[in-house]
Structure 1
């Protein structure tokens, strides 16, 4: 499959490159909603639904996103943290979207920052939001949790996600 992100990875389409290694690259979004909004991609094409990918492919993307997020945190004034979304409806190529959180300070120490927005989404509107909405009813939450748990399966893979992530993070040093 060929897509715009494949073209960027090959160097046949322009990008504003921030970082790359042998298997991943990060570049600025050409449609930013905040300064530094970045996209991290594997250079090899994978479908856009992150959770349909192998654990190895997903873990490697997250590690590449971490490297880029820390670069953004260090480079941008007033950015203590960077958020990540694995959405995948804009381009059918696995990618992580990184959002520098401007105005969060100069260090990543926890500080409570919250929104007063109270909007609940019944349907996906083309974007994700992390704000809290009104307090949900515990009975409705319990019913939904039971319904979701009824679909749980035992893992069929012997892949050790924690070991893979640890070894990938050690490569950061």
Structure 2
């Protein structure tokens, strides 16, 4: 996609601190990191959301996420890391970056002050059962 910054990075038309790439994926440092080592993993082919991607490509993206996360844990002795993936503007997917991507956000104990913050409330059992049945039915119809 001509106006996609991530496609421009993939094509090496825009600069990025590349960490890893293979024939289908690219991992590079986030330009506005939440914590030290904050990395983005993208498919090299443009897809707006993860559900737009073929399953095989989504698997490759997560294989790269696994590999890079492991390296970050090893190099920085992380206390953990968060994986964040947002689909669509309502889910906070950046409006100027409509390209599927996974954030790997290293966590450094209490020192990083990162708040991924959502506050949830327990849902009653009837609602949970209804949601589970509806989604299971959809999954079964796709099989």
TM bucket, shorter chain: 0.7 to 0.9
Is 2:40–2:104's contact at 8 Å kept on the other side of the alignment?
Answer: yes
Shift of 1:60: 0.6
Alignment match, 1:92: 98
Alignment match, 2:64: 64
Alignment match, 1:5: 6
User: Given the two structures, how large is their TM-score scaled by the length of structure 2?
Assistant: 0.76
Greater relative contact order (CA < 8 Å, ≥ 6 in sequence): 2
Alignment match, 1:136: 123
Q: Name structure 2 gaps, 5 residues minimum.
A: 88-92
TM superposition outliers: structure 1 runs of 4+ over 4 Å = none
Q: Please state if 1:32 is matched with 2:33.
A: yes
Is 2:24–2:57's contact at 8 Å kept on the other side of the alignment?
Answer: no
1:75-90 to 2 correspondence within 5 Å?
Answer: 75-77=75-77, 79-88=78-87, 89-90=93-94
Alignment match, 1:110: none
Task: Name the structure with the higher helix share.
Answer: 2
User: 1:37 and 1:154 mapped to 2: Cα distance?
Assistant: 38
Q: Please state if 1:19 is matched with 2:25.
A: no
Q: Name structure 1 gaps, 5 residues minimum.
A: 105-116, 118-127, 157-173
User: Once the two structures are superposed, what CA deviation does each residue of 1:32-72 show, in whole Å capped at 9, x if it has no partner?
Assistant: 22222110112222x22112321111001010111111111
User: 1:22 and 1:149 mapped to 2: Cα distance?
Assistant: 34
Is 2:43–2:100's contact at 8 Å kept on the other side of the alignment?
Answer: yes
Secondary structure of 2:16's aligned partner = coil
Is 2:73–2:80's contact at 8 Å kept on the other side of the alignment?
Answer: yes
Q: Which has the larger radius of gyration?
A: 1
User: Given the two structures, how large is their TM-score scaled by the length of structure 1?
Assistant: 0.64
User: Once the two structures are superposed, what CA deviation does each residue of 1:135-172 show, in whole Å capped at 9, x if it has no partner?
Assistant: 3221222233233334333344xxxxxxxxxxxxxxxx
